[in-house]
């Protein structure tokens, strides 16, 4: 029986309601816009909740208000009254059991962990699996997601990237409309359920990364502006006013989000954070928030004896994030766009800058297509070079929540591409020098869409979202009646169908694709452990037909050649050199040193490769 130990993480910021056995609960809130603050205390299970009493908080330095209540503990609920008005949830609430408009609940920060043998995951071993808890299973909870860990283990996934879990309005949302950064979504299972899920992942040998949103908060249930200067009118983002990271009062705002990051890394034992759209974090200070976050992470690593990773999403192709701001890795959209256009032929919107095999060749060689070069879509030069950076610091995919969900019908590649093209797409990702990311269900060709969905209660807000989506679709030339993001039916259709794989056998397409992914991931790990595709060790060539790509690596004692066909016709390959074996083949070998690369296929040749048990298909 595994030993369990409770952890009592430090609270480096103090904001929120913090319960200590034998001492009661300490309340602390930053409220520079208030001259008086009261905490209203409610019963634990009374329905409706009746106010037990109201207590005035003491003003402290730095516009903070505090009090300690000895007879209030975990399970009790509360709200704040500012200047005698309103009943607002705590901006640093740890749990919102009644949603974004209800009272906050005091929770215990300790947890009986049994994952203390977990030492983290070597970044060179990472295979990301992006997962949306609400649609990953029929139930849409942490508990039900936990039941699928054996599947991910068999697949070869080493890290789950969980889409945002901060409390959002209603019961269905992508997670980017969260308004309580510290609170775990109630419909998923709350903070206790999330910790249990993380603990189970670690026991299964799988790291957990969490998608966090520090560039904006959602519109519904967002009461932070009632308390302090959390937002600024100096900048505008696609979601409205920017978070105040560099103006008056910004020290406390930065501390708020730094404390949030620390909560996930320390208290929840998360292995890394995926930072949403950092290009929308408006900060022109001498010590930018992202750099301060990177510094905090490094100090926490020394303090806890664990390593953490910060992975940024950005559309700027800005290598300075990694070189100078403490970011460990970033999403690389150029790879996706270069691959997607070759597979689908789409050429509208931002896809207009891609579509040639030379684009994919440059991505494999340079990391990005736009490294200070001209972008027709942007009508300007774009990006910076990534020379000298380890290629594993770029995270690539053929599909993710954005690239699927921001399509008119939320359609996946499997909805329109052949199995041959799906295998080719997977191989281009997994056999790249970059860190690969899969989107849930792609490993068996899941066809369920992943549309944008919300559960707002304000009709005007719903209509604004519908109009905004229609405007986004127009740049791609998509017309017609768009799916209603507020429809529960639209949300339900996004749940992946595990029966597709469970009811299949070795002869079915879904099972065959799943087995191909397993072998591909196994091969990818072997290649990366040997450093075969690291910068300086790989050559990228366009085949004689002009419709195939070849990666060549020679790192003694291993030798590797990967062929990717984007050709509608077969292509003959004559090879002379070291005696190589077929490591993976989705197309069909012809003879010892002469091969036929079939249309839309992948062929991998190598020496000293991993043992697949004789099956290379």
Yes or no: domain 5-113 corresponds to CATH 2.60.40.10: yes
Residue 557, preceding peptide bond in cis (omega within 30° of 0)? yes
Instruction: Note the pLDDT of residue 309.
Output: 97
Instruction: Note the pLDDT of residue 588.
Output: 60
pLDDT band for 64, please (50, 70, 90 cuts).
Answer: very high
Looking at per-residue pLDDT, the higher value among 278 and 577 belongs to 278
Instruction: Note the pLDDT of residue 476.
Output: 72
Eight-state DSSP code of residue 589 = B
Looking at per-residue pLDDT, the higher value among 219 and 12 belongs to 219
Instruction: Note the pLDDT of residue 216.
Output: 95
**Mean pLDDT, rounded, of the chain:** 91
570 by Cβ neighbours in 10 Å (0-12 / 13-18 / 19+) ranks as middle
Looking at per-residue pLDDT, the higher value among 553 and 165 belongs to 165
For the chain, the maximum distance between any two Cα atoms, rounded to a whole number of angstroms, is 84
Asked whether this chain's domains 5-113 and 124-502 adopt the same fold, the reply is: no
Tokens of 145: 């997601």
pLDDT tens string 366-419 = 999 999 999 999 999 999 999 999 999 999 999 999 999 999 899 999 999 999
Instruction: Note the pLDDT of residue 393.
Output: 96
- The dihedral over CA atoms of 261, 265, 266, 268, expressed in degrees to the nearest 10, equals 110
pLDDT band for 507, please (50, 70, 90 cuts).
Answer: low
**Which active-site residues does the annotation give?**
276, 313
Q: Looking at the domain that runs over 530-607, which CATH code has it been given?
A: 2.60.40.1180
Examine the pLDDT at 45 and tell me if it is beyond 70.
Answer: no
Examine the pLDDT at 171 and tell me if it is beyond 50.
Answer: yes
Q: Looking at the domain that runs over 124-502, which CATH code has it been given?
A: 3.20.20.80
Instruction: Note the pLDDT of residue 116.
Output: 84
Examine the pLDDT at 591 and tell me if it is beyond 60.
Answer: no
pLDDT tens string 122-159 = 998 999 999 999 999 999 999 999 999 999 999 999 99
The tally of CA atoms less than 13 A away on the side-chain side of residue 121 is 24
Helix axes 289-304, 250-262, angle to 10 degrees: 40
pLDDT tens string 312-358 = 999 999 999 999 999 999 999 999 999 999 999 999 999 999 999 99
Examine the pLDDT at 494 and tell me if it is beyond 90.
Answer: yes
pLDDT band for 12, please (50, 70, 90 cuts).
Answer: very low
Mean pLDDT in residue range 524-547: 87
pLDDT band for 471, please (50, 70, 90 cuts).
Answer: confident
User: CA 566 → CA 81, 275, 540, 548, 606, distances in Å?
Assistant: 63, 33, 15, 5, 21
pLDDT band for 92, please (50, 70, 90 cuts).
Answer: very high
**CA–CA separation, 254 and 214 (whole Å):** 10
Mean pLDDT in residue range 531-548: 87
Domain residue ranges of the chain, discontinuous segments joined by +: 5-113, 124-502, 530-607
């Amino acid at each position: 029986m595994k030993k369990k130990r409770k952890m009592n993480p430090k609270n480096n910021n103090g904001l929120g309601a913090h319960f200590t056995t034998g001492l009661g609960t300490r309340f602390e809130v930053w409220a520079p816009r208030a001259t008086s603050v009261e905490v209203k205390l409610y019963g634990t299970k009374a329905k409706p909740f009746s106010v037990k009493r109201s207590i005035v908080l003491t003003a402290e330095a730095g516009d903070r208000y505090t009090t300690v209540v000895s007879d209030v503990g975990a399970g009790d609920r509360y709200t704040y009254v500012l200047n005698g008005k309103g009943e607002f949830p705590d901006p640093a609430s740890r749990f919102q059991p009644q949603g974004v408009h209800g009272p906050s609940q005091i929770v215990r920060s300790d947890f009986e962990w049994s994952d203390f043998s977990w030492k983290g995951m070597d970044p060179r071993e990472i295979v990301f699996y992006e997962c949306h808890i609400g649609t990953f299973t029929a139930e849409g909870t942490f508990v039900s997601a936990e039941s699928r860990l054996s599947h991910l283990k068999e697949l070869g996934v080493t890290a789950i990237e969980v889409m945002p879990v901060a409390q959002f309005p209603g019961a269905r949302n992508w997670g980017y409309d969260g308004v309580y950064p510290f609170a775990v979504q109630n419909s998923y299972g709350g903070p206790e359920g999330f910790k249990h899920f993380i603990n189970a992942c670690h026991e299964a040998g799988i790291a957990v990364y969490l998608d966090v949103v520090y560039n904006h908060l959602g519109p519904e249930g967002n009461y932070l502006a009632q308390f302090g200067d959390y937002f600024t009118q100096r900048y505008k983002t696609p979601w409205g006013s920017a978070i105040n990271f560099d103006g008056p009062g910004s020290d406390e705002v930065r501390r708020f989000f730094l404390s949030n990051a620390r909560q996930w890394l320390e208290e929840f034992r998360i292995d890394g954070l995926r930072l949403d759209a950092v290009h929308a974090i408006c900060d022109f200070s001498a010590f930018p928030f992202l750099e301060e976050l990177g510094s905090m992470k490094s100090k926490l690593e020394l303090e806890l004896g664990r390593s953490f990773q910060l992975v940024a999403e950005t559309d700027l192709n800005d290598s300075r994030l990694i070189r100078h701001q403490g970011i460990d890795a970033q999403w690389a959209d150029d790879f996706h766009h270069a691959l997607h256009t070759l597979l689908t032929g789409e050429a509208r919107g931002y896809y207009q800058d891609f579509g040639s095999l030379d684009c994919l060749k440059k991505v494999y060689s340079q990391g990005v297509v736009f490294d200070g070069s001209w972008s027709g879509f942007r009508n300007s030069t774009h990006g910076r070079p990534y020379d000298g950076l380890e290629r594993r610091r770029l995270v690539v995919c053929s599909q993710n929540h954005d690239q699927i969900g921001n399509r008119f019908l939320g359609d996946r590649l499997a909805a329109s591409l052949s199995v041959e093209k799906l295998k080719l797409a997977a191989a281009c990702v997994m056999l790249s020098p970059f860190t690969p990311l899969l989107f849930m269900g792609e490993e068996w060709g899941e066809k369920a869409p992943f549309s944008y969905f919300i559960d707002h209660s304000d009709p005007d807000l719903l209509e604004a979202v519908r109009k905004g989506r229609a405007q986004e679709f127009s740049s791609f030339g998509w017309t017609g009646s768009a799916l209603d993001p507020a429809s529960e039916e639209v949300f339900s259709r996004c749940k992946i169908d595990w029966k597709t794989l469970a009811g299949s056998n070795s002869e079915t397409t879904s099972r065959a694709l799943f087995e191909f992914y397993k072998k591909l991931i196994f091969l990818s790990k072997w290649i990366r452990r040997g450093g075969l595709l690291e910068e300086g060790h790989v050559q990228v060539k366009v085949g004689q037909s002009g419709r195939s790509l070849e990666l060549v690596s020679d790192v003694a004692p291993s030798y590797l050649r990967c062929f990717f066909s984007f050709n509608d016709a077969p292509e003959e390959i004559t090879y002379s050199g070291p005696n190589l074996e077929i490591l993976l083949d989705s197309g069909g070998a012809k003879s010892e040193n002469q091969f036929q690369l079939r249309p839309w296929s992948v062929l991998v040749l190598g020496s000293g490769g991993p043992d697949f048990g004789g099956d290379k298909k």
